[in-house]
């Protein structure tokens, strides 16, 4: 599969995919998963954990009482 074909399947530009492949861009865990799926690999086989970012979102309890 060419770089252009892979990028088209991922919905990104070939230049952006090239930057990812050359380690010039970090990708989200989700994007890493999409790329791995396209190449029929596990993302851990393609990316080091430091190559993609994982985020935890903490939601503050909206029923928490304030200042009484």
Mean pLDDT of all residues in 17-30 = 89
Q: What backbone torsions phi and psi does residue 27 show, to the nearest 5 degrees?
A: -125, 155
Q: State residue 46's pLDDT score.
A: 85
Q: Check: pTM over 0.85? Answer yes or no.
A: no
In the chain, % helix, strand, coil (3-state, to 5) comes to 50, 5, 45
pLDDT for res 61: 55
Q: Can you give the residue range of the structural domain that contains 49?
A: 3-53
pLDDT confidence bin for 54, thresholds 50/70/90 = very low
59 within domain boundaries: no
How many domains does the chain fold into?
A: 1
pLDDT (0 to 100) of residue 16 = 95
Residue 64 lies in a domain: no
Q: Does 45 fall in a domain?
A: yes
Whether pLDDT at 2 is above 80:
yes
Give the whole-angstrom CA distance, residue 35 versus residue 47.
10
């Amino acid at each position: 599969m060419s770089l252009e074909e892979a990028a088209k399947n991922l919905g990104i530009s070939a230049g952006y995919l090239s930057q990812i492949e050359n380690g010039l861009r970090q990708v989200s865990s989700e994007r890493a998963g999409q790329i791995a799926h396209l190449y029929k690999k596990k993302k851990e086989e393609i990316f080091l954990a430091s190559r993609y970012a994982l985020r935890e979102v903490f939601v503050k309890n909206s029923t928490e009482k304030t200042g009484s």
